[in-house]
Amino acid sequence: MQIADRIEQALDRAVALAQGPGAPPLLASALRYAVFPAGHRIRPQLCLAVAGACGDADPESADAAAAAIELLHCASLVHDDLPCFDDSALRRGKASVHAEYGAPLAVLTGDALIVHAFATLRPVAARDPSRMATLLGIVTEAVGSPGGIVAGQAWECEVAVPLADYQRAKTGALFVAATRAGAAAAGVDAEPWRMLGDKLGEAYQVADDLRDVLCDSDELGKPIGQDAVRLRPNAAAQLGVGGAKARLEDLVRAAVESIPDCPGAADLRMLIKAQTALFFPKQLAREAA
Amino acid sequence: MQIADRIEQALDRAVALAQGPGAPPLLASALRYAVFPAGHRIRPQLCLAVAGACGDADPESADAAAAAIELLHCASLVHDDLPCFDDSALRRGKASVHAEYGAPLAVLTGDALIVHAFATLRPVAARDPSRMATLLGIVTEAVGSPGGIVAGQAWECEVAVPLADYQRAKTGALFVAATRAGAAAAGVDAEPWRMLGDKLGEAYQVADDLRDVLCDSDELGKPIGQDAVRLRPNAAAQLGVGGAKARLEDLVRAAVESIPDCPGAADLRMLIKAQTALFFPKQLAREAA
């Protein structure tokens, strides 16, 4: 089965469980709305690509980890869009969850997605209990405090923000979880895969900053120019578009070079190059063509 | 060590981890504020009491389960108090988290508490991996959808609310998790302990309804008369104070009778009777004296 199909099926199973008999209808509807139709699914694709490069000895565990990571990403989007944060009415080209269902259900949808991300890992225990413990540790590190996405978002509530900590927590942590969890699910030591996630996370952040400056709202599926509005740090604003583009290329190169020895290393290197090319905003891609 | 000390120490360890080096200072502060000083800790006490009655073969796992359940309870209080839900400025006799830290940090504090509840279970894996999987299943059932506390809160966003489903999810589910997790942590079949949690959860809900009608705000540490304000079902309003008190007594009796055979059954029955006597609002306790 193709990676994309594995991801959608794993997410569908997780959401279907949460929509089980007796679920409040609006919550059940909002949960599916928050997860489907698919966004780019960059993190779960990365997770399964790493698992594949490592031999994919336990595809069911890899699918569970990939789904957990994407559910947590979706949860963070739903909560970040809330009126008390970005107050964003648009996400993935449609109304954000709070715009469609109201803020109370958006809070609860995010909460439920977090809970069900962890529930997704549970069947891994029947396959290999110690593997589930490893995955649980990788996921909680990527989402909690001090260094996960919740902490990353919390930096936006501080007056003084250490930029590297903020970006590593808000964006990098879940990329690191994706590469580490992919390796761990395949029964391989997760730690050597941290650098790949770290570099790709930073690359994605720089690309996101470029898109915020260069794209229009239709292309992006969410409001643009938000970093300037919110006085958030933006690599394109700091380094200029050319400088940010060079930084992005450096990060992709470092990511590719960091890939540990593994059966599928050559294929993974090609895949990372192809996927990260999609990070570049269309305008830059057109200029480069 | 006393049960109360075990609970506070386990919670302190969990919060300290989330406050680790590099944590955003306001989030770190809000996390501790949301968990300490202690509320009644009814759910973790119940969890450890059941574990004790079952022989407490693995106290560290019982402590982890008790802490996870209390962290999830604290998370639900923080989110329920948000302006978009109850907009409650008072909790446990002090300013609620959003009143003290603002709504954005209150959302993130709840999120982090959910994540760290699951993180708390991780060390159980090193002791007995299959036990962690059981506990993870018990906890996710009690918190997620369709029947956990997030679903319970989501019923408040619906027009038509099935009262039994609503109360079982919003209040009962975490009591059921407490009794089942206590048994599972002690290495005993969790399922026979479901009834005890179910009856105690319903008893607590009726007691809470009575307090909402009878107590003053100082005694309760949160605003009173909220059910009438919010048109929420209230057993005391439906059955009268006398009827609700009789229902509470029936539920406590059924709870005590449901306790499965176990080494500490007699002590547990006495403890449940003593603890549930504290459920009664002071005014009713005074009348009964």
C-alpha to C-alpha distance for A268 and A259, rounded to whole angstroms: 8
Q: CB–CB of A145 and B121 under 8 A?
A: no
Residue with the bigger pLDDT between B227 and B131: it is B131
Q: Give the nearest partner residue to A151 out of B24, B140, B154, using CB atoms.
A: B24
If DSSP states are collapsed to H, E and C, what string results for chain B? CCHHHHHHHHHHHHHHHHCCCCCCHHHHHHHHHHHCCCCCCHHHHHHHHHHHHCCCCCHHHHHHHHHHHHHHHHHHHHHHCCCCCCCCCEECCEECHHHHHCHHHHHHHHHHHHHHHHHHHHHHHHHCHHHHHHHHHHHHHHHCCCCCHHHHHHHHHCCCCCHHHHHHHHHHHHHHHHHHHHHHHCCCCCHHHHHHHHHHHHHHHHHHHHHHHHCCHHHHCCCCCHHHHCCCCCHHHHHHHHHHHHHHHHHHHHHHHHCCCCCCHHHHHHHHHHHHHCCCCHHHHHHHC
Residue whose entry in the numeric block shows the structure tokens 């009726």: B206
Q: How far apart are the C-alpha atoms of B32 and B16, rounded to whole Å?
A: 8
| Predicted confidence (pLDDT) at residue A56 exceeds the cutoff of 90 | yes
Averaged over B126-142, what is the pLDDT? 91
With a cut of 90, say whether residue B282 has pLDDT above it. no
CB-defined contacts A:B, below 8 A: 195
- CB-nearest to A23 from B85, B126, B145 is B145
Rounded mean pLDDT, A90-104: 96
Confidence (pLDDT) at A219: 67
Per DSSP bridges, beta strands B94-95 and B90-91 are: antiparallel
- Structure confidence by residue, pLDDT tens digits, A222-233: 776 777 777 677
Alpha-carbon distance of B165 to A23, in angstroms, equals 9
pLDDT of A213 reads 84
- Split at pLDDT 50, 70, 90, the class of B235 is confident
Of A75, A119, A157, the CB nearest to B144: A119
Reported as a single tens digit per residue, the pLDDT across A5-26 is: 999 999 999 999 999 999 999 9
Q: The dihedral of CA A76, A81, A83, A86: what is its sign?
A: positive
Dihedral of CA atoms A155, A159, A164, A170 in degrees, nearest 10, equals 20
Place of tokens 């006799």: B93
CA distance B129 to A62: 19
Q: How confident is the model at residue B230 (pLDDT cuts 50, 70, 90)?
A: confident
Q: What is the mean pLDDT of residues B95-101?
A: 98
Q: What is the pLDDT of residue B162?
A: 85
pLDDT-based confidence at residue A91 (cuts at 50, 70, 90): very high
CB of A136 within 8 A of CB of B122?
yes
Lowest-pLDDT range, A101-115, A253-267, B157-171? B157-171
* Radius of gyration for the alpha carbons in chain A, expressed in angstroms and rounded: 18
Residue contact B121–A102, C-beta within 8 A: no
Q: Over the range A153-171, which residues count as b (16 or more CB within 10 Å of their CB) and which as e?
A: bbbbbeeeeeeebbbbbbb
Is A131 in a helix, a strand, or coil? Answer: helix
Q: What is the C-alpha separation between A182 and A188, in angstroms, rounded? A: 9
Residue A206, burial from CB neighbour count under 10 angstroms (0-12, 13-18, 19+): buried
Residue B114: closest CA among A8, A149, A21, A194: A149
Q: Check pLDDT > 60 for residue A288.
A: no
Q: Which residues of B touch A86 (CB under 8 A)?
A: none
Q: What is the pLDDT of residue A226?
A: 76
Cβ neighbors of B80 (< 8 A, separation 6 or more) are: B86, B88, B153
Contact A149, B142 (CB under 8 A): no
| Facing residue for B136 by CB, picked from A82, A108, A118 | A118
Q: Which amino acid is at A280?
A: F
Nearest CA-CA distance, residue B35 and chain A, Å: 15
| B115 chain-A contacts, CB cut-off 8 A | 114, 140, 143-144, 148, 150
Pick from A90, A83, A142: which is nearest to A107 by CA? A83
Write down the ipTM of this complex.
0.94
Give per-residue pLDDT as tens, A259-273. 999 999 999 999 999
Whether A236 has a pLDDT exceeding 90, the answer reads no
Specify whether the CB–CB gap between B212 and B226 falls below 8 A: yes
Given an 8 Å threshold on Cβ–Cβ distance, is B136 in contact with A144? no
Q: Which residues pair with A184 in a beta bridge?
A: none
- Asked if the model's pLDDT at residue B285 lies above 70, the reply is no
**Inter-axis angle of helices A25-35 and A59-80, nearest 10:** 110
Distance CA A33, CA A100 (A): 9
pLDDT for B160 equals 86
Three-state DSSP at A225 gives: coil
- State the pLDDT at residue A217: 66
Is the pLDDT at B289 greater than 60, yes or no? no
For residue A28, give the nearest of B101, B116, B145 by CB distance.
B145
Q: Which of A212-221, B195-204, B272-281 is the least confident region?
A: A212-221
**Best residue in B108, B113, B124, B132 to probe A by mutation, most A CBs within 10 Å?**
B108
Domain B3-288 CATH assignment equals 1.10.600.10? yes
Angle at B273 between CA B67 and CA B177, to 5 degrees: 30
Which pLDDT does position B225 carry in this prediction? 74
Q: What percent of chain A has pLDDT over 70?
A: 94
Indicate which of A115, A157, A159, A230 best probes the interface with B, i.e. most B CBs within 10 Å of its own CB: A115
User: How many other CB atoms sit within 10 Å of the CB of residue A126?
Assistant: 11
Summarize the confidence of residues A235-244 as an average pLDDT.
87
Q: What is the pLDDT of residue B253?
A: 97
**Whole-number pLDDT of residue A118:** 97
Read off the pLDDT of each residue in A165-175 and give the average, rounded to a whole number.
93
Residue that the structure tokens 């009878």 belong to: B214
Q: Which of A40, A44, A34 is nearest to A67 (CA)?
A: A44
DSSP for A36-72, written as a single string? -S----HHHHHHHHHHHHTT-S-HHHHHHHHHHHHHH
Ordered by start, the domain boundaries in chain B are 3-288
Task: Write out chain B residues lying below 8 Å of A84, CB-based.
Answer: 102-104, 107
> Tokens 């547990």 — which residue?
B268
Q: How far apart are CA B106 and CA B82, in angstroms?
A: 7
Measured in angstroms, the CA of A72 and the nearest CA of chain B are apart by 10
Q: What is the predicted pLDDT for the residue at A150?
A: 98
Rounded Cα distance between A268 and A51, Å, is: 10
